[in-house]
Structure formats: structure tokens, C-alpha cells
Amino acid sequence: MDLSESDECSDVEDTEVCCVCERFSPEGLNDRPHLKIVNWGQCDKCGHWVHLSFCHEKAVLRRGDTFICPHC
């Protein structure tokens, strides 16, 4: 099964940018010598995306969590 077909997988499109830093990849990501997975959170109010742990204090969202971006 292709990961894009999974109901559990929610990918952010390359055209989406973080509503805080206005970038697809967070600043300083390439300066890190180790692998870093960038988690995204989608605001429940406005639908904008945010880099978790880079542009927001939350690092992980669990199923059923409510998430509001800094703009809302």
C-alpha cells in the first residue's frame, strides 16, 4: 500500500508554508548535523499549517488534540 493512500498519513503539500515563518522548511534545519523530522500542525480554526517545535512550543499533536496557531 502506498503511504499516500493511508488514512493515517496526512502530508503537507510542497506549496504550503508555515504561517509563522512563511517557509516550507524551518530556518536553521540544514545547520543540524543529525536527521530531524519536521512535524506540522494544522490550525483547527483557520486551517493554516505551523512547524511544530520550530515555530510553536508544541512538539507533537496526538489524535483528538485541539491546535490553534499563534495568529488565531
Q: What is the pLDDT of residue 27?
A: 80
Q: Which one is predicted more confidently, 9 or 45?
A: 45
Range 40-69 burial, b when 16+ CB lie within 10 A, else e: bbbbeeeebbbbbebbbeeeeeeeeeeeeb
Proportion of the chain above pLDDT 70, given as a percent: 79
37 inside domain: yes
Domain with 72 in it: 13-72
Enter the C-alpha cell of residue 54.
520550530
Supply the pLDDT for residue 13. 63
Which pTM value belongs to this model?
0.72
Give the domain CATH number at 46.
3.30.40
In a domain, 2, yes or no: no
Confidence check: pLDDT of 47 > 80: yes
Asked whether residue 1 is assigned to any structural domain, the reply reads: no
Looking at per-residue confidence, does 33 or 17 come out higher?
17
- Domain count for the chain: 1
User: What is the Cα–Cα distance from 33 to 38, expressed in whole angstroms?
Assistant: 15
- CA 45 to each of CA 42, 56, 70, 72: distance values in angstroms, whole numbers, following the listed order: 9, 16, 11, 7
